Structure formats: structure tokens, C-alpha cells
Amino acid sequence: MLLIIGIALGMLVKVVNAVEITFLDSTLSLALIPFDVNTTTAVAFLFFLIGVGFGVSSPIWGLVADKFNIFRELNLIGLAIGAVGYFLVGPAPFLHLDR
């Protein structure tokens, strides 16, 4: 089954998604410290907004994928956008950005 590209890509997306959520849990509140947004309520609200954004956009992207039959392309685009976002939140040492 792992030789079927659709199954392998789906598994990759699930693993990366789990890693991304775990990464956000531990680093997002630290990234908010310079903005004086370190109260528990503010951090919880930010995580709530992430969930709402996912919940609202998922049906829309699902309709786009069904209409144009571009499931793999959307998954790969999502992985690339996620990678760029996490390089910026990190921040990645090779970007030479401040926290």
C-alpha cells in the first residue's frame, strides 16, 4: 500500500500535521512574549482562532479539490505553505531573523 502515491502522500500529510500542531503548542506562546500577549486567555484565544480558521476553510478547500480534482496538488501546496510558516515562527537560524 505504501507504493501507492496517494496513500503515501496522505500519510505524509497526517504526520506533518501532527508535528506542526505539536510544534505550535510549545512555541507559539513563546513567540507572543515580545508582543505582551502572554496571558492564558490570549494564548487560548489564538489557538481557538487557528481551529476556527481550519474549520471554516476545510469545506471550501474540499469543494475546490472535488471540483477541479487537484487533491495532491493542494496537499503539496499546503505542506509548502506550512513549511514557510514554521520557518518564520521558529525562526530558522539560516534566515537570520529575530524572534
Domain boundaries, the chain: 5-95
- Residue 87 in grid coordinates: 520557518
DSSP character string of 35-78:
GT--SHHHHHHHHHHHHHHHHHHHHHHHHHHHHHT-HHHHHHHH
Asked whether the predicted pLDDT for residue 22 surpasses 90, the reply is no
Q: What angle do CA 20, 11, 54 make, to 5 degrees?
A: 45
pLDDT at position 38 = 65
Q: Model's pTM, two decimal places?
A: 0.66
Q: Please tell me what DSSP assigns to residue 96.
A: T
pLDDT at position 87 = 79
d(CA 59, CA 50): 15
Mean pLDDT of 76-97: 80
- Please count the CA atoms within 13 angstroms of the CA of 2 that sit on its side-chain side: 1
pLDDT at position 13 = 81
pLDDT at position 70 = 92
